[in-house]
């Protein structure tokens, strides 16, 4: 089970520069610390996403199919994962998961230890792991699912994975839908587009723990002064449109980071070893700073991204 989930999340690493409905601002709980949403069906079918999905299929889908007999490509339409400061990690997988696949996933879970079947208002779910580690969510994405996890297939077309029983019951009560913050001012920044493929974001401070980030180096200052950051990868006329935004606590920090990025791009423009594709990528990258918000955007041929990842 964990390998299949981690494999799906690995898709996000296919956009390091940076259909099922996308998530929008306010869809997630107000105390969300990080989130990832990947629309696999759109990635597979879009001109821009097809090349990225082919790599994902080679590195993840085929391996999962060979080792478990589960075809992620055919049975998963989208995956949304997030964590908040109260309920820990939550994963909602949508797609036509067959009974055979559900049985295989439970069998895989049983290999790790006893599976405890439970029920909430007539909806079944399962727990496996260490009871004493429930809710021990740490601050790393999915860390709390390592030793204690709840899984349910009670909602048609969905697989629910949570780190706490309270969150599992809340999802079952809400028919597998995430109870978002609506128009709450504290809702985490979510970038969107007409053809969004991957969306992600985080509150860096919320992932550092109660003690914050030690040290006074530049990287520490960036993390300490970043209120939130968001990433969007979309299909724009067959090319990948990548957008990132960083909201800083201090406008001077946003301006400084923007200046550094601009400087690095300018320096690389003099690099004679760069190929024309990379030069074009750099030329298409736009940096903008408005008050405390730093925006970085570019449009790139998906072949360039797969070539870079293949090196």
- Using CA atoms, how far apart are residues 27 and 274, in angstroms rounded to an integer? 41
| Percent of the chain whose pLDDT exceeds 90 | 31
Provide the pLDDT for residue 263.
87
- Using CA atoms, how far apart are residues 94 and 80, in angstroms rounded to an integer? 9
Helix axes 47-56, 302-310, angle to 10 degrees: 20
Looking up tokens 């989208």, which residue turns up? 78
DSSP letters spanning 166-223: HHHHHHHHTTT-----TT-TTPPP----TTEEEEEEE-GGGGS-TT---S-SHHHHHH
Looking up tokens 């629910």, which residue turns up? 160
Provide the pLDDT for residue 184.
54
Per-residue pLDDT for 127 more than 50? yes
Per-residue pLDDT for 15 more than 60? no
Give the chain's end-to-end CA distance (angstroms, integer): 30
Which residues are bridge partners to 115 per DSSP? none
- pLDDT per residue as tens digits for the range 136-155: 765 577 888 888 899 999 99
What is the C-alpha R_g of the chain? 20
- Using CA atoms, how far apart are residues 200 and 109, in angstroms rounded to an integer? 28
- pLDDT per residue as tens digits for the range 25-54: 778 887 888 999 999 989 988 888 887 888
Per-residue pLDDT for 156 more than 80? yes
Per-residue pLDDT for 20 more than 70? no
């Amino acid at each position: 089970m964990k390998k299949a989930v981690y494999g799906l999340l690995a898709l996000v690493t296919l956009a390091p520069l940076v259909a099922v409905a996308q998530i929008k601002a306010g869809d997630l709980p107000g105390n969300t610390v990080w989130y990832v949403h990947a629309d696999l069906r759109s990635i597979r079918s879009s001109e821009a996403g097809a090349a990225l999905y082919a790599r994902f299929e080679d590195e993840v889908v085929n391996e999962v199919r060979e080792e478990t007999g589960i075809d992620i490509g055919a049975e998963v339409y989208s995956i949304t994962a997030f964590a908040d400061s109260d309920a820990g990690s939550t994963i909602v997988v949508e797609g036509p998961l067959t009974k055979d696949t559900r049985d295989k996933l439970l069998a895989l879970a049983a290999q790790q230890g006893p599976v405890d079947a439970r029920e909430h208002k007539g909806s079944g779910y399962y727990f496996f792991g260490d009871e004493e580690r429930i809710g021990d969510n740490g601050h790393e994405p999915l860390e709390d699912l390592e030793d204690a996890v709840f899984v349910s297939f009670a909602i048609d077309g969905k697989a629910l994975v949570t780190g706490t029983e309270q969150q599992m019951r809340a999802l079952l009560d809400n028919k597998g839908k995430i109870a978002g913050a609506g128009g709450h001012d504290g809702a985490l920044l979510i970038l969107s587009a007409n053809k969004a493929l991957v969306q992600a974001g985080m509150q860096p401070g919320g992932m550092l723990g109660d003690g914050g980030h030690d040290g006074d180096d530049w990287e520490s200052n960036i993390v300490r002064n970043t209120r939130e950051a968001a990433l969007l990868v979309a299909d724009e006329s067959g090319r990948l449109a990548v957008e990132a935004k960083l909201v800083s606590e201090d406008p001077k920090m946003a301006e400084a980071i923007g200046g550094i990025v601009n400087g690095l791009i300018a320096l690389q423009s003099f690099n004679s070893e760069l190929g024309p594709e990379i030069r074009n990528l750099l030329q298409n990258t736009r940096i903008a700073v408005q008050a405390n918000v730093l925006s970085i955007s570019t449009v790139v041929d998906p072949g360039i991204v797969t070539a870079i990842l293949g090196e």
